[in-house]
Amino acid sequence: MELIEVDRLRHIEGYSQRRAQNIRKTIQKDGVWKRPLCIERTHLLVLDGQHRLEAARSLGMRLVPCQMFDYDEVEVWSLRSNHEVTRELVIAKALRGDIYPYKTAKHRFPRDVEALAIPLAELRRA
């Protein structure tokens, strides 16, 4: 697990504002960050955690816990028949700022994501 600056992370697909707000409320109520974002190591792409990233931004977090993955070890597929999703396309689109629509790309990771309990104050400072 690594702490990465929020501003360095890139979305790969859209997200629901309502869901991000609900997650923000839960995180704020708990007072701790419990689940890291799953990040593609080379380009810092958010493979899983689009809503948590937006919750972190709205909470004024400077850092966010991330579990890093080499993209070639992650399985990826499309949840929509009208959108092709491959590792190469995900990277190219994200780097251009042309992200997929909400709930398009799906990933299966080679290992479980760590459970955490990081106080929010630690993620706001530095």
pTM passes above 0.85: yes
> Residue 74 belongs to what H/E stretch?
none
Residue with tokens 């999703």: 85
Tell whether the model's pLDDT for residue 126 goes beyond 70.
no
Residue-range domain boundaries for the chain: 2-124
**Residue 78, C-beta contacts closer than 8 angstroms, at least 6 positions apart:** 84, 85, 104, 105, 106
What architecture does CATH give domain 2-124?
Answer: Alpha-Beta Complex (3.90)
Share of the chain above pLDDT 90, in %: 91
> What distance in Å separates the CA atoms of residue 39 and residue 4, rounded to the nearest whole number?
10
pLDDT digits (tens, 9 = 90+) for 32-66: 999 999 999 999 999 999 999 999 999 999 999 99
